[in-house]
Structure 1
Amino acid sequence: MDLDCRGMACPAPVVSVKRALETANGALRVLLDDGAPRENVRRFAEGRGYQVQEEVQDGAFALTITGAGAAAVAAPQAAVAKTGPAVMLIGTDRLGDGPEELGRLLMRNFIITLLDVAEVPDRMLFINTGVLLTAEGSEVLEALEKLGNRGVEVLSCGVCLDYFHKKELLKAGAVTNMFTIAESLTTARTVVRL
């Protein structure tokens, strides 16, 4: 089965591939633009147990996705929600309302303090100005790296990084997409929003 996702913006390539994999019999060949679309689809497929082979074709990237994938893909949402991850959604580089400088100080202190709490989230999702915390120049990069070493998955929205011209300056965690963010939030056992 062939699927052309060139020119699609996030999260359309991942959603299209997900739908195609649900009905595909055999290999799925996907044409994608370089950058976030290629990375997001690869991460999505591999994260669900598929094998991915990549080649350049007609100025685009062709990913061939094969294998049975994980059975969990088709699991009912209710069953997943009971055992899903604890997720922290960070949508800003500040904590609370009030003076910007104070808000940035509070956010820095909060993230550093997470290193000393017994239970940390399984996944931290950074969106909007929150992605500035994961990019070069952030005061919490060391803390985020230590959280990552403790098993916390640190993910930053690719569209947001592009918007702030920070994608090449990402220093903590990995780039993600809106499909993964939405899926993480809807299958989480708990969500903390900052």
Structure 2
Amino acid sequence: MDIVDARGLDCPKPVIKTKETVEKGCRSFAVWVDNEVASANVTRFLENRGFLVNKEYGETSIVLEAKLNTKDAVIRPERKGSLGLLLTSDKIGADSDGLGKVLMKSYLGTLVQSEKPPTAIALMNDAVKMAVTGSSEFDYLCELSDRGSLILVCGACTKHFGITDDVKVGIISNMFEITEAIFGPTKTTVVG
């Protein structure tokens, strides 16, 4: 069985190494990672491509055994839609006496009311702080998620700010998945 040793690699390298193995045509292999975020990212990537994934904990790693499900393979379709949104801050523009935060909250509130919410919303840099309970934008992100928007929260960013365990809306994600989700829709907008 092929082994992808992705321990000690920064996001999104575990997913990229796994993708390379899938592209070589491997139908059964193991991926070794050393943290839960990498485990979740790799598992989601594999499941979206029709693999069954079994997770086991070792002494120094998490072992993900992947096997292509040829019997009942259901490859999830790409998310196609009208708008991919990349938020890079929890403010819009310069934060002149709190105006930037007010504008961001208003922007998200307006998106909630829109007829077609964004297909995907990626939170990076300071924007990841909005995915934490108690942020003024949190409820709007929850509503957008409930309306079908895929909320992706940059795992490297949450790790940097020490808030990974505090994120309560969306999926802790990686640059590879964020790039695919944001540039899949017809139109991409960057705010922040």
What does residue range 1-194 of structure 1 map to in structure 2 within 5 Å?
1-67=2-68, 68=70, 83=80, 86-99=83-96, 101-194=98-191
Equivalent position SS for 1:63: strand
Provide the aligned C-alpha RMSD in A.
2.1
Instruction: Encode CA deviations 1:5-58: one digit per residue, 9 max, x unaligned.
Output: 111111110000000011143311111112221111111111222110011234
Q: Residues of 2 paired with 1:118 and 1:171: CA distance?
A: 25
Equivalent position SS for 2:38: helix
164-173 or 96-105, which moves further after superposition?
A: 96-105
171-180 or 24-33, which moves further after superposition?
A: 24-33
Q: Is the 8 A contact 2:111 2:117 kept in 1?
A: yes
Q: Which runs of 4+ in 1 moved over 3 A?
A: 68-73
* Residue identity matched to 1:159: A
Q: Given the superposition, is the C-alpha separation of residues 105 and 84 from structure 1 closer, same or farther in structure 2, using an over 3 Å criterion?
A: closer
* Residue identity matched to 1:171: K
- Aligned position for 1:77: none
Q: Is the 8 A contact 2:48 2:76 kept in 1?
A: no
Q: Is the 8 A contact 1:87 1:188 kept in 2?
A: yes
Q: Is the 8 A contact 1:85 1:123 kept in 2?
A: no
Q: Residues of 2 paired with 1:116 and 1:72: CA distance?
A: 28
Q: CA deviation at 1:189?
A: 1.4
Q: Return the TM-score normalized by structure 1.
A: 0.88
Q: CA deviation at 1:85?
A: 5.7
Count residues in correspondence: 187
Q: Given the superposition, is the C-alpha separation of residues 35 and 22 from structure 1 closer, same or farther in structure 2, using an over 3 Å criterion?
A: same
Q: Residues of 2 paired with 1:70 and 1:22: CA distance?
A: 18
Q: CA deviation at 1:100?
A: 5.3
Q: Return the TM-score normalized by structure 2.
A: 0.89
Equivalent position SS for 1:66: strand
Q: Residues of 1 paired with 2:95 and 2:140: CA distance?
A: 24
Q: Given the superposition, is the C-alpha separation of residues 25 and 169 from structure 1 closer, same or farther in structure 2, using an over 3 Å criterion?
A: closer
Equivalent position SS for 1:102: helix
Q: Residues of 1 paired with 2:90 and 2:43: CA distance?
A: 29
In structure 1, the gaps of 5 or more residues are 74-79
Q: CA deviation at 1:84?
A: 5.4
In structure 2, the gaps of 5 or more residues are none
Q: When you count helix as a share of all residues, which structure comes out higher?
A: 1
